Structure 1
Amino acid sequence: MSTLAAQGYRLPAEWEAHAATWLTFPHNPLTWPGKLAAVQQAYARMVAALAPSEPVHILVQDAAHATQVQQWLAEAGAQGDIHLHSLPTNEAWIRDNGAIFVCHPQPAANQPRRLALQWQFNAWGNKYPHPHDHAIPPYMAQTHGVPVVPGGMVLEGGSIEVNGNGVLLTTEACLLHPNRNPHLSRAQIEQRLRDMLGVELILWLGAGIEGDDTDGHVDDLTRFVSTTTIVTAVEDDPNDVNYAALQENLRRLQAMTDQDGKPFRIIRLPMPPAIVHEGIRLPASYANFYIANRVVLLPTYRHPATDEQARQIVQACFPERTVIGVDSTDIVWGRGSFHCLTQQVPA
């Protein structure tokens, strides 16, 4: 059987048109110990910023949870095409446990235009219980009338970043970690990504940032903002725990070339000052933004100087969109932010 790539399917870049965004409303106190109520309010503000841009589908636990969510959304002023779906889940990080949709630009009469890839989700190396989360990708696919295709290995959406033009960025720390696909070699993992996502060139960064319990997802580090331009988080303080890893990733990026052999344009994104809660350094990063149809959701961290610096840098990358900073200080206690909490359905 020919691969999805051979059939003409590809993973679009995030800035390409969306039909919708999927979310899972936070409900698990184990994800945000002692902060769940604050997180739910912050999350509702994120939805309020996103909803005018495109249809939003939100997974909730049950009817009682739906009633609460509607109240939080109303208090946050959320308006738009918002749909609540009752489906029990464990983790709210739908970037990682949700479907990843690939598209065909010109499907034949008997070909679906979109396919929903269901990768194996093992909660970042079996760190947390996740008995319900396997049901998320087929539910998303069914809602949009899209066939489901098994991905064939453990993979999270936050661990890959594509430019929509044949290039995929990932990290060695995550994709090569023995708690993901110990039976697969680096070459086999690369081939599976090519076959399923329609990419040609796999580019490898090194390690992630401190406090990231995903073992180093690329969406906390480095993001494509066009086919030829990359923004990457850089720590300028040599005494900071993230300095060495981020400098090494910058060095690698500067040596990389695209599918045509041309160097990328690299834009540096600052890191916020260290955020520590209960003695734990959290993986706060401005790189974890989400690109929607009309807005970009940028996590901010109650540090006005770097928050505004990051907003201006990202805004310059997306002149056709409005970059909206939304406070993610409580949300990042769960070890992620807005990109981890969203999953787009391509138009």
Structure 2
Amino acid sequence: MIVRLPPPEWAPHQAMWIGFPSDPELWLDDLGPAQAEVAELARALHANGRGEEIRLVAANESAAEVASQLAPFASVLPEPFGDVWLRDTGPIVTGSRAERWAQGFGFNGWGGKYDLPGDDSIGERLATTAELPYAKAGWVLEGGAIEGDGTGTVLTTEQCLLNPNRNPDLGRQEIGELLARDLGFERVVWLGDGLLNDHTDGHVDNLARFVAPGRVALPVAGADDPNAAVYADAAARLRAAGLEVVPLPSPGRVERGGEIIPASYMNFLIGNAAVVVPIYGATNDEAAVRVVQQLFPDRLAIGLSADHILTGGGSFHCISQQIPA
């Protein structure tokens, strides 16, 4: 099989898979509100038909019925899974219009933290529903751990991809070779740590995002920001790699239940017609959405609350995976 780079997220999409919160035992009192937040995300991306086809993935028939009621414009796929984080458990669709396939990887519950039935097989099943050939690589990789710009450069963090709880026998060189073999990436830019208290061990999609080839959006620390040192280190590494750093406000210190959460505007999701930014009721919410609008003038930047989705540990980018056109 000839490896071609996955298109960057801003390239046209055929459709978007979005995980729909389904398990009352996992989500407790947040289940209904989280479902409503996901429906609002889907509505923004669909944009009354101007965006992309939305495929909501629900783990059981009860959740599928709710999804159909909240988002009648979307396709609903009842497919068992452990939880909604399809950026990590779903396949990465790559290739060209003439030959596309779904590339899967090993999944071990983010280093053994959350081993839930169905998460290790949902990628292949989604590929089947999309009638895409499926290939699975024999090493552990979550989609949220990498960020490409379509030119062969990929960002990741040492905290995640060099973590012994993923691939203990693989070092920096071996992982670079595997990223080249399986996804066509020619250059790996290694950042250091991810955000404080990020249970994914520092996924890059919560820290730094490509907004154009060679241009990376990165938070600027505010007052009392628990991730100030992380942002400064990432900026230095990106500039040393010859990449342009575009500053985006940080929400700063955000707490829920007395605990600092890994709140970031970087978990925005780029659709065909809209870019949806998670907001937190923080001082910089509106400023962050304005900057994202400037970065994507051909799309509408929309800020939406993800407070209830966040109780599960992620946000809009984490629960989605695009199918490129």
Q: TM-score, normalising length from structure 1?
A: 0.89
Alpha-carbon distance in structure 1 between the residues aligned to 2:140 and 2:153: 20
Q: Kindly report which structure 2 residues correspond to 1:278-293, keeping only aligned pairs within 5 A, or say none.
A: 278-293=257-272
Of 33-42 and 247-256, deviating more is 33-42
Q: Is the Cα–Cα contact under 8 Å of residues 282 and 333 in structure 1 kept in the other structure? A: no
Residue 233 of structure 2 is aligned to residue 248 of structure 1: yes
Q: Which of 193, 199, 220 in structure 1 is aligned with 2:185?
A: 199
Q: CA deviation at 1:274?
A: 2.1
Q: CA deviation at 1:236?
A: 3.3
Q: CA deviation at 1:24?
A: 1.5
In structure 2, the CA distance between the partners of 1:160 and 1:298, relative to structure 1 (3 Å rule), is same
Alpha-carbon distance in structure 1 between the residues aligned to 2:271 and 2:201: 26
Aligned residues: 322
Alpha-carbon distance in structure 1 between the residues aligned to 2:124 and 2:298: 33
Alpha-carbon distance in structure 1 between the residues aligned to 2:25 and 2:145: 22
In structure 2, the CA distance between the partners of 1:267 and 1:319, relative to structure 1 (3 Å rule), is same
Amino acid at match of 2:259: I
Aligned to 1:229: 215
> Per-residue displacement from partner, 1:3-44 (whole Å, max 9, x unpaired)?
x5xx24211100111111001101234554542222122111
RMSD: 1.6
Aligned to 1:134: 120
Aligned to 2:204: 218
Q: Kindly report which structure 2 residues correspond to 1:55-94, keeping only aligned pairs within 5 A, or say none.
A: 55-73=53-71, 79=73, 82-94=74-86
Aligned to 2:294: 316
Alpha-carbon distance in structure 2 between the residues aligned to 1:30 and 1:165: 42
Q: CA deviation at 1:211?
A: 2.0
In structure 2, the CA distance between the partners of 1:141 and 1:158, relative to structure 1 (3 Å rule), is same
Alpha-carbon distance in structure 2 between the residues aligned to 1:64 and 1:28: 10
Q: Kindly report which structure 2 residues correspond to 1:151-230, keeping only aligned pairs within 5 A, or say none.
A: 151-230=137-216
Give the secondary-structure state (helix, strand or coil) at the position aligned to 1:209. Answer: coil
Amino acid at match of 2:284: T
Q: Kindly report which structure 2 residues correspond to 1:115-126, keeping only aligned pairs within 5 A, or say none.
A: 115-126=101-112
Q: CA deviation at 1:302?
A: 1.4
Q: TM-score, normalising length from structure 2?
A: 0.94
Aligned to 2:309: 331
Alpha-carbon distance in structure 2 between the residues aligned to 1:333 and 1:233: 22
Of 39-48 and 62-71, deviating more is 62-71
Give the secondary-structure state (helix, strand or coil) at the position aligned to 1:179. Answer: coil
Alpha-carbon distance in structure 2 between the residues aligned to 1:49 and 1:241: 31
Q: What are the ranges of 5 or more consecutive residues in structure 1 without an aligned counterpart?
A: 108-112, 258-263
Give the secondary-structure state (helix, strand or coil) at the position aligned to 1:46. Answer: helix
> Per-residue displacement from partner, 1:277-314 (whole Å, max 9, x unpaired)?
222211110000011111111111112x4111101111
Alpha-carbon distance in structure 2 between the residues aligned to 1:179 and 1:34: 31
Alpha-carbon distance in structure 2 between the residues aligned to 1:162 and 1:172: 16
Q: What are the ranges of 5 or more consecutive residues in structure 2 without an aligned counterpart?
A: none
Give the secondary-structure state (helix, strand or coil) at the position aligned to 1:11. Answer: coil
Q: Is the Cα–Cα contact under 8 Å of residues 18 and 345 in structure 1 kept in the other structure? A: yes
Residue 40 of structure 2 is aligned to residue 45 of structure 1: yes
> Per-residue displacement from partner, 1:64-107 (whole Å, max 9, x unpaired)?
22222222336xxxx4xx111111111100000001111136x5
Of 142-151 and 337-346, deviating more is 142-151
